[in-house]
Amino acid sequence: MKKDYSIWKLLSQGLKHHEGWTPAWRSPEVKSSYDVVIIGAGGHGLATAYYLAKEHGIKNIAVLEKGYLGGGNTARNTTIVRSNYLWDEAAMLYEHSLKLWEGLTEDINYNVMFSQRGVFNLGHTLQDMRDIERRVNANNLNGIDAMALNAQEVKDRIPMINISKDTRFPIMGASFQPRAGVARHDAVAWGFARAASNYGVDIIENCEVTAMDIVNSQIKGLQTSKGYISTSKVGCVTAGHSSVMAKAAGIRMPLESHPLQAFVSESLKPILDTVVMSNAVHGYVSQSDKGELVIGAGIDHYTSYAQRGSPHVIEHTAAAIIELFPMFSRVRMNRQWGGIVDTTPDACPIISKTKVKGLYFNCGWGTGGFKATPGSGNVFAHTIAHDEPHPLNAAFTLDRFHTGHLIDEHGAAGVAH
């Protein structure tokens, strides 16, 4: 892969009015047949294609995207990356991803601005603190950095936070993962697109998959808004739209698509240099490199595909942020938006074969899949290439909903992240 993004190239292009830059990714015409087709050019889909090409030597790959690449949840998340999950299966998967994040900028030659500024998950009740303790201990035994802090220790690290005992949900402590942080969401999509394209992957934007051609329980091809494409392997990575794709394949998924909203403040001078999340008050906040506070709200309880949610959810989140940081009351919201998240009953993803041969699903990341982007792509590529799960995603089958072997991460996943 060519690694031509560097300070030197930038300087030399600067002298030439930047007219020598070439497309970050190619936009080829769609071909009539591919070895593997990935549906959905979100971060996960693009990462899958990248690792398929890079690690499994498959070259004839297309990624089909109904809109613009990276325009789904990848474009609208609050970019929190962490791996402090409770159960071994989840923790190992997210930790695998976190490790990939740590080398991603270099690997794909694109600065994804992965910023390990640490993440605090606040505890406000005795039970929160028990859960934090349980999770931190599990993390440590799994080799994941995490620590439990008391309220004063939280205050020492985040001087702005209100730890007064008089609040409705006094802060009793937190779990803290130092290696966790945030990344630049768009750069992740663009960087993977560029890297995959460099390996020969065709990324086809404005190409919607409308039907699946399945014969004798084997995928044969896809009907798209740009015509029919034949293929024997399809990886479906369509996040909020996974149920729609599943329907096209004649299967049902344990998914509900809900609106999840977020908002940003106006740009401010640096004031918060870490990430703060609280399930009890329902809000989480970090400050981006550009200066705006990036704030995540909760999901709306109803299902929706409209990419917008109800205002009372945003209002509640603003109140939650003020509860934690009373000085932010005069800070103003600049823009709010919503995404469509595919939630599962156990707050864990599905990375699985299906009963249709050659059709694989990677979905159910719900409110928290951005952090998994490289790891998810990596294990999903393995699953598709080998028709067998990677050991790290073996537990995340569709079948667990029948056997009852759920991996309940509601506590660690919280409202959203």
Ligand X SMILES: Cc1cc2nc3c(=O)[nH]c(=O)nc-3n(C[C@H](O)[C@H](O)[C@H](O)COP(=O)(O)O)c2cc1C
Point out which residues bind ligand FAD (CB under 6 A): 39-45, 64-67, 71-74, 76-80, 208-209, 237-239, 241, 260-262, 296, 339, 341, 365, 367-371, 416-417
3-state secondary structure of 394: coil
- Assess 335 for contact with ligand X (CB under 6 A): yes
Question: Which partner in other proteins, ligand X, ligand FAD, none is near 294 (CB below 5 to 8 A by kind)?
Answer: ligand X
- Assess 66 for contact with other proteins (CB under 8 A): no
Q: Determine the distance from the C-alpha atom of residue 158 to the mean position of all C-alpha atoms in its chain, rounded to a whole number.
A: 26
Residues 331, 333: Cα–Cα separation, whole Å? 7
Do 320 and 280 contact (CB within 8 A), yes or no? Answer: no
Write the interaction track for other proteins spanning residues 140-179; mark x where CB under 8 A is met and - where it is not: xxxx----x-----------x-x----xxx----------
- Taking the least distance from each CB to ligand FAD, the nearer of 163 and 351 is 351
- Assess 200 for contact with other proteins (CB under 8 A): no
Q: Site for other proteins (CB under 8 A): which residue of 28, 32, 33, 88?
A: 88
β-strand partners of 203: 63
To which H or E segment does residue 294 belong? strand 292-299
- Taking the least distance from each CB to other proteins, the nearer of 56 and 157 is 157
- Assess 292 for contact with ligand X (CB under 6 A): yes
Residues 373, 65: Cα–Cα separation, whole Å? 17
Closest CA to 48 of 322, 400, 381, 362: 381
Task: Write down the least CB distance from residue 104 to ligand X, Å.
Answer: 17
Task: Write down the least CB distance from residue 50 to ligand X, Å.
Answer: 21
- Assess 202 for contact with ligand X (CB under 6 A): no
Q: How many residues bind other proteins (CB under 8 A)?
A: 128
Q: Give the angle subtended at the CA of 259 by the CAs of 253 and 264, to the nearest 5°.
A: 140
Do 272 and 119 contact (CB within 8 A), yes or no? Answer: no
- Assess 2 for contact with other proteins (CB under 8 A): no
Task: Write down the least CB distance from residue 267 to ligand X, Å.
Answer: 7
- Assess 130 for contact with other proteins (CB under 8 A): yes
Tokens of 417: 């992240």
SS (H, E, C) 60-95: CEEEECCCCCCCCHHHCCCCEECCCCCCHHHHHHHH
Residues that bind ligand X (CB under 6 A): 75-79, 185, 264, 288, 290, 292, 294, 307, 334-335, 337
